Structure 1
């Protein structure tokens, strides 16, 4: 396999005088067709995101056995689920900060290495305390990988078809959730809970190879005034495009576009230019965290303890919910460039809220009825959740894009810390219907917030969206 260095200095069909401005870098990215290097980047970084999803949901498939092994109380169960989210909260700030300073690809590689090492360690954890501590450390990597990966994939995409390109990459996250549930349903009863964590160590491979075979974000390099490196990175993509590239004719227009906007800092996330966007992002990601962690991680345990379903049935019902999550994400990927980001988010969240409310109304019925409404809720949530990964990076300029995504991810983790405890308290108090109503209120409020405070970004160059 050729490395990035093989592409540098081979030429790109662009006159050398046109290469060394930020505007020309953007112009070359925007005229670039889909190419093999983009596919490589999407697959490899998608693999990191796949195992991010895999490791996040592994706790759900292993939780019933961990409860039995360590005789966990409801409080301890909630603490164990939330422990990973505490680490992810720190990671959501740490790795985007590293990405702004040292590059997107390096930050993704570092987070992947941390995920892999701690996943192996979890499999050898001798006690509940050690396991919970390792979950915190692993969470730092899990919390940092997703926002940086979403930033990178957005930055190597052009405006035309960006939503579909990004979301066909992001769909690997719900596939990771599905794979974890499906594999866990087969592996855990046969080989024990430790096996899932050993499988989750695969991101270690990416730590070794990612920086050698995937180019750094040209937009980030150009924004940092590392224009020679930005030129080489764009050339790495251009060299794998089929056919003759169209000439660059609009570099000056892009240069004028970026020169109109001042360089932003992290404090601008809460400044007048971006405050409404940041509030919309906060509510969007809080909702995803609240439902994902407040519902998904609890489902096998709810089916087993409340409805007395056998372990295999409880795990199988959770797999069915993950299937709808993948289908909802795929439908979103096909529609997002046609109908826009905001309509997808708003309709998805409203239908998610309705499904959760119906689960509350019907909670005294059979486990299959409740499981059906929960599966629908997670399917609709997945459509809105996956759209957040293309929508959030579009709302911020390159200088703070990774941090903007990280702050959004941090709100997800804050919600994830508290949501399991809320479900635990209502469930142990015999008020499962109240838990469903609380969960339903969150996506309903999010849909209203995004509708009034969010902007539509469909079909626009990233630099056009700077405030």
Structure 2
């Protein structure tokens, strides 16, 4: 991170005086209005998340041509999709661990660099084996960027309006999915599959510029007892505010709040204080991974091989599903601070389960009927999926927040490893309806788990949510 001047004049103009404590850092963040630097952080880190979504789903639009190029069997395809998820599973632990020790922004920049350079290399892959190896390495970055980015955006937000602020950032992920599907539908038939991976190399730029343009998380710096740096980071945000700042209030209250709770370790995520939350998070993220990777990555191939749709139609139908995902995410951003996190997740997952069950019932109908059911399912899934990115970081204290998010992301990747194989096996056996019923059961069970094990976090300061 660049050095930010910390002068007496800066602190006085921001209405800050006295010792810098963890409570004062929290109080200053909670009084701060939305400002240009927050928007910059949301845009730049949003770009990393956008290309995370772009590169995750690029395999779906290129897969039909890869199958033809390398004569892949359904088992080969399942191995390709699953092996990439192995890298993401490792990344989901590796980068949050690094973020707890080296900083959120540093971890996001490094993961973006890995995503970008390996995407470019995928475009030059000479063989199926090399392509698989590159996807595994790229998975390290894909698995690590999202949980750390969600952690950072939550930590620079105040309680009031935090859900909307975070979700307006997170919506770039389904937009990335949509852009990848839409661009793939146009680019792949005209310019070849390699072009998608060359475009996906753009995050490499963020590796070089992100730390120079975005301050580190003040909350993380304060927890690490780096108070001077935390003060400088908050001052950077305060200087970006275009309106007079209100007096710093509740600093002593926040100090007492922090002192009441011990500094947590990773083992505490599975201890009495957080076990129920961790179980709810596990089911939440298993559902997102199971449906996202078990369904959306297969859709163009299902439409083409089972329903014999032309390549262009298969890709266009997949784009329609991505459009509903973006629309569902927009609705969530508008409602999440009004109705709460749990209601949105539960209703979204139940409607997703119903849509998938209907796809199973109607699997012998036309491709348009099945595609409609699948598009609705992915639209509802996106509503719950994007809410998970604001909800999960809220459930854990700053000292282990990134790891809590990483473990959630790891469950997503575990599901992503097995889900494509399940769909592949049922496709081989001609039992596509069974695949839809299995997929439908997962969000139904997740809705039950979140309802009974999760806690509502709407409108609360992050430190108030510590168990």
Instruction: Give the TM-score range, shorter chain.
Output: over 0.9
> Structure 1, residues 236-257: CA drift from partner, whole Å, max 9, x if none?
0000101110011211111111
> Please, what TM-score do these two structures have when normalized by structure 2?
0.98
Q: Does 1:367 align with 2:372?
A: no
**Number of the residue aligned with 1:208:** 208
1:4–1:236: 8 Å Cα contact kept in structure 2? no
Instruction: Report the aligned-residue RMSD.
Output: 1.0
Runs (5+) with no aligned partner, structure 1: none
Deviation of residue 46 (structure 1)?
Answer: 0.2
1:336–1:344: 8 Å Cα contact kept in structure 2? yes
Q: Does 1:287 align with 2:292?
A: no
> Structure 1, residues 110-130: CA drift from partner, whole Å, max 9, x if none?
000000110011111110001
> How far, CA to CA, are the matches of 2:289 and 2:416 in structure 1?
5
**Number of the residue aligned with 1:135:** 135
> Structure 1, residues 250-309: CA drift from partner, whole Å, max 9, x if none?
111111110100000000010000000000000000000000000000000000000000
**Number of the residue aligned with 1:83:** 83
Q: Does 1:99 align with 2:99?
A: yes
Alignment length (residue pairs): 465
> How far, CA to CA, are the matches of 1:157 and 1:16 in structure 2?
19
Q: Does 1:268 align with 2:279?
A: no
SS in structure 2 of the partner of residue 18 of structure 1: coil
> How far, CA to CA, are the matches of 1:424 and 1:445 in structure 2?
23
Deviation of residue 82 (structure 1)?
Answer: 1.1
Q: Does 1:254 align with 2:250?
A: no
**Number of the residue aligned with 1:37:** 37
2:16–2:248: 8 Å Cα contact kept in structure 1? no
Q: Does 1:231 align with 2:234?
A: no
Deviation of residue 389 (structure 1)?
Answer: 0.2
Deviation of residue 18 (structure 1)?
Answer: 2.9
> How far, CA to CA, are the matches of 1:282 and 1:18 in structure 2?
42
1:148–1:405: 8 Å Cα contact kept in structure 2? yes
Alignment of 1:65-214 (within 5 A): 65-214=65-214
**Number of the residue aligned with 2:462:** 462
Q: Does 1:11 align with 2:10?
A: yes
Deviation of residue 6 (structure 1)?
Answer: 5.5
Runs (5+) with no aligned partner, structure 2: none
> How far, CA to CA, are the matches of 1:377 and 1:217 in structure 2?
36
Between 1:3-12 and 1:294-303, the stretch displaced more is 3-12
SS in structure 2 of the partner of residue 239 of structure 1: helix
> How far, CA to CA, are the matches of 2:10 and 2:332 in structure 1?
38
1:8–1:236: 8 Å Cα contact kept in structure 2? no
2:15–2:247: 8 Å Cα contact kept in structure 1? no
> Structure 1, residues 144-178: CA drift from partner, whole Å, max 9, x if none?
00000000000000000000000000000000000
Counterparts in 2 of 1:16 and 1:461: CA distance versus 1, 3 Å = closer
1:19–1:231: 8 Å Cα contact kept in structure 2? no
> How far, CA to CA, are the matches of 1:245 and 1:336 in structure 2?
26
SS in structure 1 of the partner of residue 72 of structure 2: coil
2:14–2:235: 8 Å Cα contact kept in structure 1? no
1:111–1:142: 8 Å Cα contact kept in structure 2? yes
> How far, CA to CA, are the matches of 1:18 and 1:293 in structure 2?
51
**Number of the residue aligned with 2:25:** 25
2:4–2:233: 8 Å Cα contact kept in structure 1? no
> Please, what TM-score do these two structures have when normalized by structure 1?
0.98
Counterparts in 2 of 1:8 and 1:62: CA distance versus 1, 3 Å = farther
2:341–2:387: 8 Å Cα contact kept in structure 1? yes
> How far, CA to CA, are the matches of 1:143 and 1:81 in structure 2?
14
2:284–2:450: 8 Å Cα contact kept in structure 1? yes
Deviation of residue 92 (structure 1)?
Answer: 0.2
Deviation of residue 16 (structure 1)?
Answer: 5.8
